[in-house]
Amino acid sequence: MEHSHEKSTPQRAQWASNFGFILAAAGSAIGLGNIWKFPGRAYHGGGALYMITYIFIVVFIGAAAMIAELTLGRHTQKNPVGAFRQMGKQRWTWVGGLGVFTAFVIVSYYAQVGGWVMQYIVAYLTDSASIYADPAAYFYRVLGSEGMPIQAAFIYPAIFLGLATFALVRGVEKGIEKLNRVLMPGLFILLFLLLARSITLPGASEGIRYLLQPDFSKFNTEMLMSALGQAFYSLSLGMGIMCTYGSYVSKDQNLLKSTAIICSLDTLVAFLSAFIIIPAVFAMGVEPGMGGGFAFVSLAGVFEKIPYGFLVGAMFYLLLFFAALTSTVSLIEVVVSYVIEDHPQISRKKSTCILSVILLFLGSLYTLSQLYLPLKGIWLDGRNGLTYPGLGDFMELLTDRLLIPFNALIFCIFVAWIWGANKAAGEVEEHGVTFHLKNTWMLLIKYFVPVAIGCILVAGLGFGMALS
Ligand code: PHE
């Protein structure tokens, strides 16, 4: 697996090895969603019941959709816009464009959260007593309850984006691949250390038991939709990332095997995170939750009670930092690859640097709108009607409930029906790869996956469910 391959087209970047590609794609998929959203969902969705449901969704829906994105990328060897342009003539170019736009919006706020995470690494190492004194008040201060949050909105996100930029300007192989080769093993080491700490806490066994017992009474549409939405978000589908990363894969690689490994690693990390968080919160009597409020506020109650908790806390945020950085790099790469391929006169270095500066200022509005500035967005769904959420919430609603599922849907319809499932399967079979479940995949991608994504859209927009 480890050996390099000759480049077939010298101008086009390629991964140095398939292992590097798998790490990078897994690095994109494994992000904040796995670590702070999944455990809370598993808790509320009936423990093992949720996890089993999630596995089925990843195998039958998520993996099928990932194969579709990867094949389109590898077939065209282009960024999403170029890929759709080449395959569908001008009429479909906007789909790729929307993918690039989605990646752009997500990364603007994802990088902000990456900055907050860095700020918390430092805070736990230097000033854990102030966090413990009042975790919520501390978090609000970070977000600007007592003045402009310069550190959380500008300084730390600038460092975070700077690190991503540093990797991105060095290119696919020397930058992105190398970064993932360092950070991903680090991420796994941290995960196992934290797991060992959590499950050996007195009282942790109750949490483990809770996770292993399927609570069938929790089976309902909401739980099903939550698992579906989580899977798409967690696998980084629906914004052209896998298309872009797939475009750097050489033709002699087996995309099926790669998909299986990427999906397994992503799911493994989500499950491990659940087995870190849930036993710890059970042991320490903290209410399990999800998202930023949980990770930045509630978990402080856990770290406070553990011996050397400030170090465990710093390790936890370091884990989040690794996860967020590799996802951020994949998101920016989608935009960069589009810019440099559509405008060859702009260099990778220049486009990455300019983009990062734009992302920093656009993204700062996400942090500023949390408490400091009353910036609002506008939203409409079937449950709550017309509402004016804060700009930060609006950015998340826009991407999670609308853009990601919508893009994923069109992507999959395009591959299955416009390009043709048969031809896409042909791309998988290049260089003599046998596509064992070809007919099953074609059935899934033509009918099941679009229907499943349609359900996510209806649940999120029609019924206003929180899905990812
Ligand atoms: N998959 C990443 C996660 O689970 C998030 C992400 C979403 C990354 C979309 C890239 C694109 O956090």
Over residues 297-337, the pLDDT tens digits come to 989 999 999 999 999 999 999 999 999 999 999 999 999 99
Residue of 232, 236, 272, 331 to test ligand 1 pocket, by largest number of atoms within 8 Å of CB:
236
| Mean pLDDT over each residue of the chain, to the nearest integer | 93
| Tokens found for residue 177 | 């691949």
Instruction: Write out the DSSP string of 125-192.
Output: HHHHHHHHH-HHHHHHHHTTTTS--HIIIIIHHHHHHHHHHHHHHTHIIIIIIHHHHHHHHHHHHHHH
Helix (H, G, I), strand (E, B) or coil at 220: coil
Helix (H) or strand (E) holding 380, with range, is: strand 379-381
Q: What is the C-alpha separation between 283 and 301, in angstroms, rounded?
A: 11
Residue 358: per-residue pLDDT: 98
CB 72 within 8 A of CB 329: no
0.75 exceeded by the pTM? yes
| Tokens found for residue 360 | 């920093």
Residue 467: per-residue pLDDT: 61
Contacts of 300 (CB under 8 A, 6+ apart): 131, 132, 135, 138, 313
CB 303 within 8 A of CB 128: yes
Residue of 54, 102, 110, 267 to test ligand 1 pocket, by largest number of atoms within 8 Å of CB:
110
Question: How does pLDDT run across 349-374, given as a tens digit for each residue?
Answer: 999 999 999 999 999 999 999 999 98
Contacts of 161 (CB under 8 A, 6+ apart): 111, 328, 356, 359, 360
Q: Which residues of the chain have pLDDT under 70?
A: 1-11, 467-468
Asked whether the CA dihedral 433, 436, 442, 445 is positive or negative, the reply is negative
Residue 429: per-residue pLDDT: 94
* Ligand 1 mean position, distance from CA 208 (Å): 26
Residue 5: per-residue pLDDT: 44
Residue 11: per-residue pLDDT: 63
Q: What is the C-alpha separation between 99 and 392, in angstroms, rounded?
A: 20
Where does ligand 1 bind, in terms of residues with CB under 6 Å? 28-29, 31-34, 106, 233-234, 236, 239, 241, 327, 330-331
Nearest CA to ligand 1 atom 7: 236
Residue 1: per-residue pLDDT: 40
Helix (H, G, I), strand (E, B) or coil at 104: helix
Q: What is the C-alpha separation between 302 and 110, in angstroms, rounded?
A: 25
* Ligand 1 mean position, distance from CA 215 (Å): 28
- Pair type for strands 379-381 and 385-387: antiparallel
Strands (E), 18-135: none
